Structures are given as C-alpha cells and as structure tokens.
Amino acid sequence: MSDHAQHLQQLAAQQWLIPFFPLVAAAIQSLLPRSARRLSATLTILAMGMSCLLAARAFWATLPVGEQHDEVARAFFNFTWFRFGTTALEFGFILDPLTAGMALMVAFVGFWIFVNATGYMAEDENFTRFFCFLSLFAASMLGLVVANNLLLLFMCWELVGLCSYLLIGFWYFKPSAAAAMKKAFITTRVGDIGFFIGILMLYQHTGTLTLYNAEGTGALQQAGSLGQLAGWWGLSLAGTIALMLFIGAMGKSAQFPLHVWLPDAMEGPTPVSALIHAATMVAAGVFMVGRMFALFTANAGDWVMDFVMWIGCITALFSATIAVAQFDIKRVLAYSTCSQLGFMMMALGAGGLVAGQFHLLTHAFFKALLFLGSGCVIIGTHHEQDMRRMGGLRKYMPITFWCYLVGMLALAGVPPFAGFFSKDEILVATYHHNKLAWVLATAAAFLTAFYMTRQMFMVFGGTWRGGQHDAHGNETTGHDEHHGHAHHEPHEVSWNMWLPLVVLSVFAVFMGWLGTPWLAGNLFHHYLAPEMPAPEHANIVVVLSVVVGAAGILLGWLIYGRRPMQHAAEPDPLAGTLGGLFTVLNRKWYVDELYEATIVRATQALGTLFRAVDKLVVDGILHAIAWIWWGVSQLFRWIGDELIINGGFDAGCESVRGGGRLLARLQNGRVQTYLRVMALGAVVLVAIYFFR
C-alpha cells in the first residue's frame, strides 16, 4: 500500500468527524435557553467551520497526485453497528472524490448560509432553536455524504427530511407553514417507500448494505452480478433496485410527480430555503443516484436509465413553465430549483454522471446565492415577497443587486458564468443520448433565462412599487412586529447578510472553469471519474445553448425591461399574451388540486371507511353476540328456574340472571359473569374427566 493510499485510509477512518461537530453543537444547543442567542449562533458557525476544514483536508487528499491517474482515490472504514442471527449489520464511512467534493460544498456553502442566517433571523424569538435545527441538519447532511452504507445513508436521508420538516414549519403558528411541513414530510416519505424497498432488495440479494469493503463484497462491488439476474418488469435485479432507489430520489429531489412539496417548502425562513431546499438536501437525491450509479448502469439493457432521464427532462421543462408565471420571489426560485434538479437527473439518466454532479455543485453555489439574495430582498423590503410590490431595488440595495445579477446570469447559463459550463455539459451528454430530450431541455434552458430576467426586472428594475398596498401586504411574514415598518423605504442589509452573497458570487463566476473541456480537458471529470471517457464535444449544443440563453434574456427584456411595471396592481404583461394558459401556469398546472381531489380524498375516505367498519361491522357483530348470549341466558333461566330447579337453587341463580342482563346492556359490569363462566368451564372439565 502506497503512502498516499495509507493516508487516505487514515482520513477515511476520520470521516465521521465531519458530521460530528455539528451534531455535538446541536446536542448542546437543544439544552440552551432561549436567551443564549449569540452562543447558539457561534456554536453552529464554529462547528460548521470545523467541518469545513476537515472536509477541505479530505478533499485535498483525494486530489490527483502525480502524472498517472486513472483510478479513483477511494478509501473506506467499516465497523459493526449491531449483530443479529449469525451475521452483523455494518456501518461505514467513505472517502472518495464524490464524497469529498460534496462534503466540501455542503460545509462551505452551509457555513456562509449560517452567517447570513444570523442576520435574517436576528429578530426571531426562537433564534436559538433555529440554529439548533440548522446544526442538526448540517450533521445529518454531512452524515449522508460520508456514509459508506446504504442504510446509514438512508437514516441520514430521513434525518435531513426531519430537519426540513422542522425548519419548513419553523413559523409553525402559520397554518400554511404547518400544512407545508406535513406535506413535505409525507410526499418525500412516499418516495422513501421506494427507497426502502430498494434497500431491502439490495440487502437480500447481496447480503450487505455496505457499499464498498476491502474484500470486494460490498453491495456496489456486486452490482455487476446483480445486473445478470432477473428482477421485476423486465429489468435486471440491479435495474429494479436502482429504479426503487430512484423513486426515493424523486421524492427528495422534488422530481415530477413528487415535486409538489418543494414550492410549499418556501414557507420556511429563507436561509433554510437556500441551504436545504436549494443547495444541499434536495440535491441529495442526485447525489444518491450518483453514489449508486453502478447499479443504474449494471445492465446496459435496462430501461431504468431512460426512465431517470425522462423524469428529469419532464421535471426540467414542466417546472420551468410554472416558474414563468409566479409572483412570489421565492416560488420562482423554488420552481427553478425543481427544474435544475431535473437537469441533473436528466444528465445522470443520459449517462453523464460527471455532468450531473458538476451541475449539482455549481447550482448549489449560485442557487444558494439567489436564495440568500432573495432573503436580503425580503429583509430589505420589510418582509415583502410579492415581486409586484417590489421594483427599483437596484438603487436601494446595490450590493444585493450585483450579487443577484451574478447568480441570475449563472443560472441563465450565460458564459462564462458557472451555470453555463455545467448546463452545457448536461446538454452535451443528453444530445449524444437522445435528441428529443435534448430539444426539450434546451427549451427549458430558454425558459430559465426568460423567467430569471423577468424576476430581475420585476425586483430590481423600474421604480419602487412597495407601500402602495400595505393594507393587505405582509401576509407572508412570520414577524408580526414588522407590520409597523411597512411604509419605510427598502434599505441595504447588514454586512453579515451581504458578505455571504459576495463570497458565493465569486464561485458563481469562476467555478465553471473547473468543468470545461477547454481547460486542461475538464479537470472535474478527471477528478471525479477518470475511468469514464469524457463525452465528445458538440459545437451545435454550445452554440444553441448560448443562443437560447440570449433569446430568453432578450425576450425578458422586451416584455418586462423595456417598459417596467408601474403599479403593483398592474396585470402581468404575459397574462395578456398567454391568456388562460398563464392562469394554468400560475396555478401550477393544477397538480395540487388534482392530488387533493384524488389521493388525499381517497386516503381520507379509507380512514373514514375503516373507522366505520370498526364501529358498525366489528362492534356490530360483537353487540349481536352479546344480545344472543343474553337471549340464551334468559332461556336457560326460564328452563332452569321455572321448570327444573326448585326454589332452593333460586337464590344462587339470582346472580346468573344479573349476569345475563349485563351482557346485553354492556353497561353494568359485574364480576359475577366471570365467575359464572369459570364455573361453567369447571363443569365442562369435570364432565370430561368423568366421562373419560
């Protein structure tokens, strides 16, 4: 074993430290009183800083060394969690480029989001609790990333879901937040059932859930042989398991048709949206598919990869159309996130592991930037989220504006910003795989540029339209104490809020160069998957993606920029052009209504049905038995008392009579029945004994 391999081994055994610090912070914070605000925030940020340093050290170690580099640097550390039967369930941690890159991104982006949150949540009375939840989230998310075991990954997966639930509902007193938190948890849990089945199947057929082990018998190391066995629906066993896991990823990464929870999740405080619902947790599905990629590709004949690609493609386009017609600044970004996650999934489905993971990383930076920027806007405008009541913020919030612009350009795919390169890689991968998907994805890219331009002009262009409608403003705020400020003009936010924007902007500008074929033949590709061939470049794809990006921006400028909105009550110019379609888009294709009318209604109906079955059928039968028993005992009383037995026995039967009656009325409990029945049993026993 070389020195480098040994070093990796040592680091892998220390991977648990990365989630450990935030976990300890969360544990301490859970016991802190409400007043310990400063301490709580400090703990969270310090712990995340530690994680970030550790992640950076691990990342450094996975970087290619020397000239020869055609193998992935991978080390792992496994240990026993518990034993059952004659076997044991192992847990483990892994260090490889996929994990190291993701962990560094999570810790780094998370760190800056936490800094921003100290400003965003400054006036919240549950500030301490908020940072406790953030720490717990960070620990779970980092645990998910460093897990070398699918069960451990799944456990962390559920825990990030828990934190998402807690943080979406952080302003639990709002009925909308209380509903959104539940919806998020349940929708993702539906997907998790698929994930769970995948885990059970994988465990059954490989005998382990450890992904890699030194003996080469890890679950992923057996993927090839699973690809040779038959599974369900014409898939190989590996493909079936992959499909099941992907259903889990669809829930977590808000893929159509399980996307409905993500927009509602915007009920949470904006740093939460940036961290959980843009940069990290929602990308966990993409990460997991990347982690389990060997199963997806185990059998080339499986349709599971096409399924992944088409779900991604549909999600990318579908969500982009909805984003065009939203007015809530965060909802636009939420649908954009859905759409971008769709891009990533599509890339994976087209075989572009590197492209998908690269877009995951770049997207995390610029989408976190955009969300934090929207948070700054919300604070700067005194808790306004409706873009119609914004406008002209460029003047009031210059730093936020410039950073937001960088994020917008990155998302819109304008060269040379980060999103351009990563999205381009995706389009290239798709182009080689399926032309129709590529066309649809290009259309989605066009819409992306369009709706981001629309947002830029509505928020930052024109003149300030706020304060015009303060009578019904502030519906969306969680801070009642802010109502008084509604008349004030917008203002720039404090340094702790804008500094993270600046830092993230730097990455949104330059990060894309890591994954471009024009620089050292795609550095990121060589880092993540040196064993895979880099996709051939296609000039038409590049040209077209630049063209549609420019066209989208141009169209946005034509509609929203040339003549800015003057008044908050003005209808959207697009509403006139698109007519009814705009309403359909604004109402999100009525998917929520459809689910409400079908699945939700059916579930409730089943509940009512089975409650009624218990009350009417089961209890009905019971009561009928009781009545019959009463009738029979009356009969026996009559026969026994009146016809056969003389008066001397009557006194004894008084209680029997009482017993019969009480059974029927079920109101009057006496232990006599019990004794009577016991006596009956004894008589039967004695009878049997004598007859023997």
Q: What is the H or E stretch that residue 455 is in?
A: helix 435-460
**What's the min distance (Å) between Cβ of 222 and another protein?**
13
For position 540 contacting another protein by CB under 8 A, the verdict is no
Q: Say how many residues touch another protein, by CB under 8 A.
A: 68
Contact 393, 464 (CB under 8 A): yes
Among 123, 475, 489, 614, binds another protein (CB under 8 A): 614
Is 547:427 a contact under the CB 8 Å cutoff? no
> Is residue 229 a contact residue for another protein (CB under 8 A)?
no
Binding piece for another protein, criterion CB under 8 A, among 276-284, 412-420, 468-476, 609-617: 609-617
668 binds another protein (CB under 8 A): yes
Asked if 616 interacts with another protein (CB under 8 A), we say no
What is the distance, to the nearest Å, from the Cα of residue 113 to the centroid of all Cα atoms in its chain?
Answer: 18
Is the separation of the CB atoms in 542 and 424 below 8 Å?
yes
Structure tokens at 627: 């009545």
81 part of the interface to another protein, by CB under 8 A:
yes
User: With b meaning 16 or more CB within 10 Å and e meaning fewer, what string describes 166-187?
Assistant: bbbbbbeebeebeebbebbbeb
Residue range at the interface with another protein (CB under 8 A); choices 13-21, 84-92, 213-221, 315-323: 84-92
Q: Which is nearer to another protein, 136 or 504 (CB)?
A: 136
Please state, in angstroms and rounded to a whole number, the distance separating the CA atoms of residues 38 and 489: 29
> Measured between alpha carbons, how far is residue 270 from residues 250, 490, 502 in Å?
23, 18, 17
- Counting contacts by CB under 8 A, is residue 681 touching another protein? yes
Q: Which stretch binds another protein (CB under 8 A): 169-177, 309-317, 353-361, 397-405?
A: 169-177
Least Å from the CB of residue 548 to another protein: 40
Residue 126 CB neighbours (<10 A) = 15
User: Is residue 87 near another protein by the rule CB under 8 A?
Assistant: yes
Task: List the interface residues with another protein, window 622-651 (CB under 8 A).
Answer: 622, 626
Question: Closest approach of Cβ 258 to another protein, in Å?
Answer: 12
Distance CA 79, CA 90 (A): 5
Among 82, 301, 487, 652, binds another protein (CB under 8 A): 82
Give yes or no for residue 685 binding another protein (CB under 8 A): yes
196 near another protein, rule: CB under 8 A: yes
Residue 178 within binding range of another protein, rule CB under 8 A: yes
Indicate the DSSP class of residue 461.
S
Cα angle: 586, vertex 313, 601; to 5 degrees: 50
613 binds another protein (CB under 8 A): yes
- Which of residues 36, 72, 159, 546 is near another protein by CB under 8 A? 159
**Nearest distance from C-beta of residue 235 to another protein, angstroms:** 16
**Rounded to the nearest whole angstrom, what is the least distance from the CB of residue 273 to another protein in the complex?**
19
Spatial distance between the Cα atoms of 510 and 518, rounded to a whole number of angstroms: 14
CB of 510 to another protein, least distance (A): 38
State the nearest-atom distance from the C-beta of 531 to another protein, in Å. 31
* Amino acid code (one letter) for 337: T
Shortest approach of another protein to residue 341 CB, angstroms? Answer: 23
Of 248, 243, 241, which is closest to residue 226 (Cα–Cα)? 241
What is the rounded CA–CA span in Å between residue 408 and residue 423?
Answer: 14
Buried b or exposed e, range 204-242, using 16+ CB within 10 angstroms: ebbebbbbbbeeeebbbbbbeebbeeebeeebbbbbbbb
CB 461 within 8 A of CB 560: yes
Minimum distance from CB of 601 to another protein (Å)?
A: 13
Residue type, 430: T
β-partners of residue 94 are 76
Amino acid making up residue 348: L
Most distant CA pair in the chain: distance in Å? Answer: 112
Residue choice 32, 179, 499, 555 for contact with another protein (CB under 8 A): 179
Q: How far apart are the first and last CA of the chain?
A: 81
Is 673 near another protein (CB under 8 A)?
yes
Measured from the CB atom, the residue of 303 and 674 that comes closer to another protein is: 674
Per CB under 8 A, 662 contacts another protein = yes
The minimum distance between CB 551 and another protein, in angstroms, equals 44
Residues lying near another protein in the complex (CB under 8 A) are found at 81-87, 151, 154-156, 158-159, 162, 169, 172-175, 177-179, 181-182, 185-186, 189-190, 193, 196-197, 200-201, 203-205, 207, 603-604, 606-611, 613-614, 618-619, 622, 626, 662-663, 666-669, 671, 673-674, 677, 681, 684-685, 688-689, 691-692
